[in-house]
Structures are given as C-alpha cells and as structure tokens.
Amino acid sequence: MAKRPNLLLIMADQLAPQVLPAYGHPRVQTPHLDRLAEHGVVFENAYCNFPLCAPARFSMLSGRLPSRIGAFDNAVEFPASVPTFHHYLRLAGYRTCLAGKMHFVGPDQLHGYEERVTTDVYPADFLWTPDWRLDDETWLEWYHDMSRVLEAGPHRRSVNVAYDDEVEFEAVRWLHEHADGGDDRPFALTVSFISPHDPYLPPPRWWERYHGVEIDPPRVGDIPLEERDPHSRRHWFLTGRHRAAVGEPDVLHMRRACYALTSYIDAKVGRLLETLGEVGAADDTLVVFTSDHGDSLGERGLFFKMSFFEWSVRVPLIVHAPFAFGPRRVRANVSHLDLFPTLLEAAGDGALPELAAPIDGRSLASLASGASGGAADWPDVVCAEYTAEGVRTPLLMVRKGPYKLIASPGDPPMLFDLDTDPHELEDLAAHPAVADVRAELEAVVAETWDVEALDRAVHESQSARRLVSAALDTGTRTPWDFQPMRDASRLYFRESGDIQASYSGTVR
C-alpha cells in the first residue's frame, strides 16, 4: 500500500460560505483559503446536518444524522459508544489529536482522539438544555441576543480571539513535536477555531483591513414580523429582536467585523499550511476546510444560525489533496455526513474498514476525482434537522437537486427552487406545477424520520437532562470540562540528561 496521507481537518465556527471569495464574495480578504481552493476541490453546495454547533459536529464525526445518535441540541451528551472516524483512524494506525473547539457534552471529552491539547470553549454539561414547554415568544437569558450585533467592532482582546490564538499555537507546536518525536504514524489533526462566531470582536489590526472597503448589505432585507414564516417569527424572539432595535448601519458594522474575523482565521489557516511545509508534510497531507454551520448575518432579518435558509445551513467545504484530486468545483449536493467515509477511504487506500455501526454519508472521492459516472451516480440528496431552541416540534430539511423542502408538523411546508431562486424569495409549496416535486421530497422526509417518535424522544431527553443537571449542581459539582494535562518535568531541557541533544529534540 502506498504511504497513507496525513489528515488535517481545519474548522471555523459559524462561517457562511457566501462570505468567502472562493464562493464568490468580491471583498473579503482570504488569500490562504483562496489558494487552498484554487488547487483543491471546492464543493459549492455543501450543508451541515444541523444548523447548531454541537449537533452539527457530533453528526459530522459520527457520519450519522443527529437524531440517530440523540444529538438534539447544544446540551446533549455525545454517547461514548458512538464510533467516530477517529476511532477507526486510531485502529488503522493514525495518531489523532484535537486542538480547539468540538463542543463535546458529557464525561467523554475525546471521542476517538488520542490527544487533546486545549480545553473547549463551551460548557460540557447540560446547562444549555432547551425547554419545548416554553411558548414561541420566549427569549432565553443565556442565548444569543442583539447585543452581539450592536456591540460588534474592534476589540483589543476578546475571549474568542484569546482562545483561537491558543489553538493556533498548540496546533503548530503539536505538528513540530510530531515531526521531531520519532513517531512514524501518519497523523490526523483537527484544528477547530471559534471565530468568526459571535460576538464579532476582531482585533483592531484586522478591523482596519476593511477601512474604506464598501461592506455589502444583506441580499434580502429585513422581513417584518407579521410577514415572516412561523419559524422565522420564532427566530425573532429567540434572538431577542423584540428587545433591541437593529438598523442597517448596525448590520453593516457587524458584517465588517465578521469579515475581519474571517481574515483573522484565514491567517491562521495560512500558518497551519506553512507549518506543514516546515515539517515536511505539505506534499502528503490531505487538508479539509469547513465550518460547523453558517451565519445569516442579517439576511432576511435573521441573525446567527438555527434556520434552514441558505446562509445558516450551508457550509464551506474545500478538500485539498493534489496527490489524489486535481482542482475542480463540484455542484452536487453534499453534507458533513460524507466526510466520515471520505477520510476513512483516504486512510485505507481507497477502501472502507468494516463498520461497527451504519453511517448515513457517502464518500466524496468519486466527485472529488471527477471520475466518470461519479456525479451521475450521486444521489444528490441532503437531509438536515433542527430540534433545539426556537421550535416546539422537529424542523426538517431535504434538498434534492435544485429543490429544498423545509417541513415541520407545526408549520406549513416551504419549497424553494434554488437554481431559479437562490435567495429563497418564492415559496412554491402550494404551486401546482411542482406538486410532484413536493410529494417526492415529502416521501424522503417520511422515509428518513419517524417524526412523532423523534418528537417524543426530544421531550423525554430534555426532561431527563433538566433533572440530571439540577442534581449535579446540588452539593459537590464535578465538572466534565476537558483539562489539558502537561507534565512539566518533560518540557524543554528536563526530559533528557543530554542537554546538547535536547537543543534539537522535542520541546515537550
């Protein structure tokens, strides 16, 4: 078998692909991602499977729809018994490491990673459990609100920037130490940043990159509350729109801050790619760049994520592996579920290992290689779901070909033709000319989900977690948050008695 490639998965948080030049944005400055896209495979219609942080990530790592593993929201445990592709990579002889955010909830804070070099940025407990018993106009004090928009702008040192600087430092250090440490295993390193996630507080030097740059307003302006679809109306209250007025200057200011943070993350991508070159791994490392979900950034008067409109649910997906795939752009509908088999095939010389549990994704290799028949054989269907804050019944999405169906037992369905209506302005659900399309997509919904059973499962999970959370906060509290461990006796010159040899050896 040929030498197995290293795997580097780089994740941003809450980054809409529409913001990137690789996806058509004319003003945002991302030179490193531009080069990665120029020489890699750009998936133009890639989706997360849940437009919220933790479920999106659990689904991606397991290759399964969130509801199949009970990933209902940002405060649900990711079961330790669910295989991730990192479990398989370890069994295949890879050294696996996580630097940065993955929003694991529960006592297992590794999920197949052999090492983890930073803590996480969010709580690992059940604190953020939603409550579907609440009405449609409830705002949660611990949730997003419009202060994130109104206070956007340059900031000397935000929590998110402090975290991302640590993630970059530890990831670069780990790459050097892997190269220096005599470990012959290929590596699978995940580097996961929290930027450009709100609050939008870029360092001043990145904010100044956009001085004099005309910031584009939302393509679709604010939609009055009374004209919104039911979920977008709930979204108004969920994000605190009723508590503070937001005007166009505020939105433009926020978008500039988000663009600045995107450039900040691009520089970190550049540093990681530079480090691959420094350690001699640039030519045999498969690099994936993606985000856990998008960000509405004021489109349709929506902010953050938690919806199935394109700016919220689509993600950037760039695969760079010149030794395997030439540069190309792929229009087929794909999702994060497809990364699981894709990376395992790359690690297994084109073959999947025997799987202990079924997965819902398909390998992207045929699309990425442009193989004859690859696109023709692709099912071109993406399924996604949302069962967290802002709904009281499951909200579901199916995209097949150009059509997208959004369905929920409590709401009228919505149907869009994204080829002719990319801004999702014309709801075709009641249009007789596409009745057969609607029926076809509704059949996919019925085949994919038992909606009544899912609804019951979410209610039961929330109830159990509320009780457990209250109990764990009573008396002595034992946190689940990950604590990186470092043995100071093995750092720098103390590991070896040979000081001269230590100058060129590992620094940990």
Evaluate if residue 134 carries a pLDDT over 50.
yes
Q: What is the per-residue pLDDT for 497? A: 52
What distance in Å separates the CA atoms of residue 232 and residue 246, rounded to the nearest whole number? 16
Task: Provide the whole-model pTM.
Answer: 0.94
Banded pLDDT at 374 (limits 50, 70, 90): low
**pLDDT tens track for 258-300:** 999 999 999 999 999 999 999 999 999 999 999 999 999 999 9
**pLDDT tens track for 62-118:** 999 999 999 999 999 999 999 999 999 999 999 999 999 999 999 999 999 999 999
Q: What is the per-residue pLDDT for 372? A: 61
% residues pLDDT > 90 (the chain): 88
In this prediction, residues 421-438 reach a mean pLDDT of 97
Residue 168: count other Cβ atoms within 10 Å of its Cβ. Answer: 21
Among the residue ranges 109-118, 368-377, 484-493, 499-508, the one predicted with the least confidence is 499-508
Task: Name the H helices within 181-291.
Answer: 204-207, 230-238, 248-278
Phi, psi of 400 (to 5 degrees): -135, 125
CB neighbour list of residue 446: distance below 8 Å, 6 or more residues apart: none
Q: What is the per-residue pLDDT for 498? A: 55
Evaluate if residue 496 carries a pLDDT over 90.
no
Q: Is the dihedral of CA 95, 100, 104, 105 positive or negative?
A: positive
| 334: helix, strand or coil | strand
Phi, psi of 448 (to 5 degrees): -85, -40
Banded pLDDT at 502 (limits 50, 70, 90): very low
In this prediction, residues 453-459 reach a mean pLDDT of 97
In this prediction, residues 135-149 reach a mean pLDDT of 85
Task: Name the H helices within 247-377.
Answer: 248-278, 310-313, 339-347, 365-369, 374-377
What distance in Å separates the CA atoms of residue 102 and residue 121, rounded to the nearest whole number? 9
What distance in Å separates the CA atoms of residue 290 and residue 85, rounded to the nearest whole number? 16
* Dihedral of the alpha carbons of 58, 59, 64, 70, in degrees to the nearest 10: 60
CATH number of 6-379+484-502: 3.40.720.10
Residue 373: count other Cβ atoms within 10 Å of its Cβ. Answer: 8
Q: What is the bridge-based pairing of β-strands 95-100 and 115-116?
A: parallel
- Output DSSP code: residue 367: H
In this prediction, residues 485-495 reach a mean pLDDT of 77
**pLDDT tens track for 39-60:** 999 999 999 999 999 999 999 9
In this prediction, residues 195-219 reach a mean pLDDT of 97
Instruction: Check whether the bond before 249 is cis (ω within 30° of 0).
Output: no
**pLDDT tens track for 301-327:** 999 999 999 999 999 999 999 999 999
Q: What is the per-residue pLDDT for 495? A: 57
Evaluate if residue 242 carries a pLDDT over 70.
yes
Q: Is the dihedral of CA 99, 105, 106, 112 positive or negative?
A: negative
Q: In this structure, are residues 415 and 438 in contact, taking their beta carbons and an 8 Å threshold?
A: yes
Evaluate if residue 203 carries a pLDDT over 70.
yes
Evaluate if residue 505 carries a pLDDT over 80.
no
Instruction: Check whether the bond before 204 is cis (ω within 30° of 0).
Output: no
Banded pLDDT at 503 (limits 50, 70, 90): very low
When the pLDDT of each residue in the chain is averaged and rounded to a whole number, the result is 94
Between 137 and 168, residue with greater pLDDT: 168
Banded pLDDT at 373 (limits 50, 70, 90): low
Catalytic (active-site) positions: 53, 103
Evaluate if residue 16 carries a pLDDT over 70.
yes
Q: What is the per-residue pLDDT for 3? A: 81
What distance in Å separates the CA atoms of residue 39 and residue 322, rounded to the nearest whole number? 7
Q: What is the per-residue pLDDT for 139? A: 80
% residues pLDDT > 70 (the chain): 96
CB neighbour list of residue 414: distance below 8 Å, 6 or more residues apart: 229, 405, 406, 407, 427, 429
Phi, psi of 73 (to 5 degrees): -170, -170
Q: Is the dihedral of CA 52, 401, 404, 384 positive or negative?
A: negative
User: Residues in the chain, how many?
Assistant: 508
Evaluate if residue 504 carries a pLDDT over 60.
no
What distance in Å separates the CA atoms of residue 197 and residue 12, rounded to the nearest whole number? 8
Buried-state track 470-508, b at ≥16 Cβ within 10 A, e below 16: eebeeeeeeebebeeeeeeeeeeeebeeeeeeeeebbeb
What distance in Å separates the CA atoms of residue 35 and residue 363, rounded to the nearest whole number? 24
What distance in Å separates the CA atoms of residue 389 and residue 110, rounded to the nearest whole number? 26
In this prediction, residues 490-508 reach a mean pLDDT of 57
Q: What is the per-residue pLDDT for 135? A: 85
In this prediction, residues 399-425 reach a mean pLDDT of 97
| 459: helix, strand or coil | helix
